C-alpha cells in the first residue's frame, strides 16, 4: 500500500516519537536475514504464466518515463503483484485502490504534479501514480548502497512510510558501528520502531525480491 502523509500510520512515521533503547545483545545475536541471492528455486516468480501480461505495457511505459531506458520494469510488476495480485479492482480496508493500491488523497496530490492523470481506478493512471512515487522514494534513498538494497528501502518506504524506515536507520546509527545503509541492518532495528507495522513491510520487500529472483544477481 502506497504510504504518504494521508494515513495516520504514515504520519506517525515522521513525528519524532521517542523510540525505546535497543538491546544491543539481541541485535548482535540476530540471525542474518535470508540471502535472496542464494534462493535457487522460488515458485511463482514474476515470469510465472499465472500472472497476466495485460498491464505490462503500463509498467514498461512508466518505468521508462520515470526511471529511464534499461531499468527493469518487472520490479514494478512484482510490486503490483504484491500489492493487489494484479487486480485492477482491488480495494483495501483503508480504501487504497487499484493495481498499485494508491490512497485517494495521495492520488490527488500526485495529480497536482502529473498532468493528465484521470480516474484512480484506470490501470494506466494508477500504475503511473505508483511508479511516480516509487521514483520519488528511490531518489530520496541516495546514499551509497547496493542496488537491491536501494530497492528494498524504496519498497519498504512505499509500504510502511519513509519516516519509519528513517527511524530504524537512526536507531541503527546510534547503537552500533554498522553500515546502516544496508537493508539487513534495517530489518534488525525495525521491530523497535513502535509506529511501524514492520512485519508487513519486511514481508512485502521479501515477496517482491522473491518474485524478482531471476533478475536479482544481474541487477546487483
* CATH number assigned to the domain comprising residue 124: 1.10.530.10
Note whether residue 27 is domain-resident: yes
Note whether residue 1 is domain-resident: no
Note whether residue 18 is domain-resident: yes
Grid cell at residue 157: 518506504
How many CA within 13 A on the CB side of residue 144?
Answer: 1
DSSP state of 38: G
CA-CA distance, 152 to 216, in Å (whole number)? 12
What secondary structure does DSSP assign to 62-100, as a single string? HHHHHH-TTS-THHHHHHHHHHHTT-TT-B-TT--BTTT
Domain count, the chain: 1
**What local confidence, expressed as pLDDT, does residue 12 receive?**
36
Q: Which domain holds residue 164?
A: 8-219
Note whether residue 3 is domain-resident: no
For 174-196, the pLDDT digits (tens) are 876 789 999 999 999 999 999 99
CA-CA distance, 105 to 43, in Å (whole number)? 35
Q: What is the pLDDT along the chain (220 residues), one digit of tens a residue?
A: 665 433 333 433 333 344 455 555 455 545 444 444 443 444 579 999 999 999 999 999 999 999 999 999 999 999 999 999 999 999 999 999 999 999 999 999 999 999 899 999 999 999 999 999 999 999 999 999 999 999 999 999 999 999 999 999 999 998 767 899 999 999 999 999 999 999 999 999 999 999 999 898 766 5
Sorted by sequence, the CB contacts under 8 Å of residue 210 that are 6+ apart come out as 36, 39, 42, 44, 45
Sign, CA dihedral 53-55-57-61, equals negative
Note whether residue 120 is domain-resident: yes
Note whether residue 34 is domain-resident: yes
Amino acid at each position: 500500500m502506497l504510504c504518504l502523509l494521508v494515513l495516520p500510520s504514515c504520519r506517525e512515521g515522521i513525528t519524532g516519537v521517542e523510540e525505546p533503547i535497543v538491546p544491543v545483545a539481541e541485535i548482535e545475536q540476530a540471525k542474518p536475514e535470508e540471502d535472496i541471492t542464494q534462493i535457487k528455486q522460488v515458485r511463482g516468480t514474476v515470469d510465472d504464466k499465472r500472472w497476466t501480461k495485460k498491464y505490462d505495457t503500463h509498467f514498461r511505459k512508466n518505468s521508462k518515463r520515470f526511471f529511464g531506458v534499461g531499468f527493469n520494469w518487472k520490479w514494478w510488476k512484482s510490486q503490483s503483484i504484491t500489492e493487489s495480485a494484479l487486480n485492477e479492482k482491488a480495494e483495501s480496508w483503508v480504501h487504497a485502490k487499484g493495481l498499485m493500491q494508491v490512497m485517494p488523497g495521495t492520488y490527488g496530490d500526485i495529480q497536482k504534479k502529473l498532468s493528465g492523470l484521470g480516474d484512480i481506478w484506470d490501470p494506466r493512471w494508477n500504475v503511473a501514480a505508483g511508479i511516480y512515487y516509487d521514483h520519488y522514494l528511490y531518489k530520496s534513498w541516495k546514499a551509497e548502497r547496493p542496488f537491491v538494497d536501494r530497492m528494498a528501502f524504496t519498497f519498504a518506504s512505499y509500504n510502511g512510510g519513509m519516516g519509519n524506515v528513517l527511524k530504524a536507520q537512526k536507531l541503527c546509527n546510534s547503537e552500533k558501528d554498522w553500515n546502516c545503509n544496508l537493508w539487513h541492518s534495517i530489518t534488525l532495528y525495525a521491530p523497535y520502531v513502535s509506529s511501524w507495522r514492520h512485519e508487513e513491510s519486511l514481508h512485502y520487500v521479501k515477496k517482491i525480491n522473491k518474485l524478482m529472483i531471476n533478475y536479482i544477481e544481474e541487477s546487483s
